[in-house]
């Protein structure tokens, strides 16, 4: 079993170097929930630590959604101590925060978790936050976004690397399958915590994981997960090209106005192909609200109406607290916390 373990570590190490996810001498904060994926990621990075001269720190977010969540935190703390790595345990009342912000529990937990990771990383002066998403997570994400009517950007799925607040967020296990991770855990003699919420069918991702994907694999395509991962890769290549093309236009078309606002030159925007119009709009939204997780195709259809010749002085409110106003010569994007996804 040692060969299995060494082969897996070498493979992940090659992927890290090939994609430049982590550099030598980096300070790496590792998000560890205590589940199989994150325990594997931590163990792999510990094996790679001497060669890459890494400084590692563990971060765990206790969502306080289960009576035994403190036991997960204690498990992670003990695991970090076993590897002689410092650990940061963040406690957040996710349920209360989701109620206050009117987030779904699934989306709110994700938002709060990433916010906690980045704050902890900033305090520790980390270069990188490493997360344990897998190829299975990628397939589930793409199918979930397909069901919600996402476009090309959404179908690109989970990026292997992105930057937030000057910190690289990387996913070294994104090309690895859960079955491989289970084999690695067994070969390394590691244990992991089981989160019962992963079986809760109230969450869409869990229904996709336990019901929809197995049905599609059984009755339609036994390689459905591989096909979805392939779709993500193709979409990302095409989307990256469109983003670079839109970026070339951005400097001459976009104009920051007052704090919390961005304006796009409307005549110039209207002359662009629809694919570039969408990318420029997405760029404006991303600058104002940070991510586009709630932006769906139906919102683009509302925005399209603002680009037509008869839409003077119209406005659209989007999720995430952004209002888009059509003015005679510009499309103005305005941070607006009272936004309620309406059209005026």
What are the tokens at 223? 């390689």
Residue 77 neighbours by CB distance under 10 Å? 17
User: What is the CA 322 to chain-centroid distance, rounded?
Assistant: 20
Assign 166 to helix, strand or coil.
coil
What are the tokens at 248? 């070339």
User: What is the CA 203 to chain-centroid distance, rounded?
Assistant: 17
* Full pLDDT tens readout for the chain, 344 residues: 566 678 999 999 999 999 999 999 999 999 999 999 999 999 999 999 999 999 999 999 988 878 888 899 999 999 999 999 999 999 888 888 888 888 888 888 888 899 999 999 999 999 999 999 999 999 999 999 999 888 888 899 999 999 988 999 999 999 999 999 999 999 999 999 987 777 888 888 999 999 999 999 999 999 999 999 999 999 999 989 988 988 888 888 888 766 778 889 988 888 889 889 888 888 888 887 766 666 777 778 888 877 776 656 678 888 777 888 888 888 888 887 544 443 33
CB of 140 closer than 8 Å to CB of 205: yes
Burial class (CB in 10 A: 0-12, 13-18, 19+), 331: buried
Assign 266 to helix, strand or coil.
helix
What are the tokens at 106? 């699934």
CB of 77 closer than 8 Å to CB of 34: no
What are the tokens at 174? 């994104």
How many whole angstroms separate alpha carbon 221 and alpha carbon 210?
A: 16
What is 288-302 written as a DSSP string? Answer: HHS--TT--HHHHHH
Burial class (CB in 10 A: 0-12, 13-18, 19+), 41: buried
* Structure confidence at residue 338 (pLDDT): 43
Helices (H), 2-68: 2-18, 36-52
* Structure confidence at residue 310 (pLDDT): 63
Q: Which domains does the chain have, with CATH numbers?
A: 2-212 (3.40.50.620), 257-335 (3.30.465.60)
* Structure confidence at residue 343 (pLDDT): 35
* Structure confidence at residue 161 (pLDDT): 96
Q: If we measure between CA atoms, which residue out of 174, 107, 127 comes closest to residue 30?
A: 127
What are the distances in angstroms from CA 131 to CA 26, 59, 221? 15, 10, 29
How many whole angstroms separate alpha carbon 30 and alpha carbon 42?
A: 7
Assign 229 to helix, strand or coil.
helix
């Amino acid at each position: 079993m040692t060969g299995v373990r060494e082969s897996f570590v070498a493979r992940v190490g090659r992927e890290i170097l090939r994609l430049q996810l982590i550099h030598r001498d980096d300070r790496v904060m590792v998000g560890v929930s205590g589940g199989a994926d994150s325990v594997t990621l931590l163990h792999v990075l510990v094996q790679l630590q001497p060669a890459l001269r890494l400084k590692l720190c563990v971060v765990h977010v206790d969502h306080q959604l289960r009576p035994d969540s403190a036991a997960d935190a204690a498990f992670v703390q003990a695991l970090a101590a076993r590897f002689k790595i410092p650990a940061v345990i963040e406690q957040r009342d996710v349920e209360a925060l989701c109620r206050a912000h009117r987030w779904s529990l699934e989306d709110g937990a994700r938002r709060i978790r990433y916010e906690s990771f980045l704050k902890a990383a900033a305090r520790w002066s980390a270069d990188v936050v490493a997360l344990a998403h897998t190829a299975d997570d990628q397939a589930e994400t793409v199918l979930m976004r397909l069901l919600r009517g996402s476009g090309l950007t959404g179908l690109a799925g989970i990026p292997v690397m992105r930057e937030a607040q000057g910190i690289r967020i990387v996913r070294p296990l994104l090309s690895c399958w859960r079955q491989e991770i289970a084999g690695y855990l067994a070969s390394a003699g590691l244990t992991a915590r089981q989160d019962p919420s992963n079986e809760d069918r109230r969450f869409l991702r869990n229904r996709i994981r336990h019901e929809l994907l197995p049905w599609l694999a059984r009755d339609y395509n036994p390689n459905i997960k591989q096909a979805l991962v392939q779709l993500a890769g193709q979409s990302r290549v095409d989307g990256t090209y469109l983003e670079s093309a839109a970026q070339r236009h951005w400097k001459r078309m976009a104009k920051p106005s007052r704090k919390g606002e961005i304006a796009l030159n409307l005549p110039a925007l209207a002359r662009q192909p629809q694919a570039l119009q969408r990318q420029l709009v997405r760029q404006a939204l991303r600058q104002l609200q940070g991510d586009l997780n709630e932006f769906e195709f139906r919102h683009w259809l509302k925005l399209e109406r603002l680009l037509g010749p008869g839409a003077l002085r119209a406005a659209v409110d989007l999720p995430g607290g952004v209002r888009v106003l059509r003015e005679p010569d510009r499309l103005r994007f305005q941070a607006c916390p009272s936004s309620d996804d309406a059209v005026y």
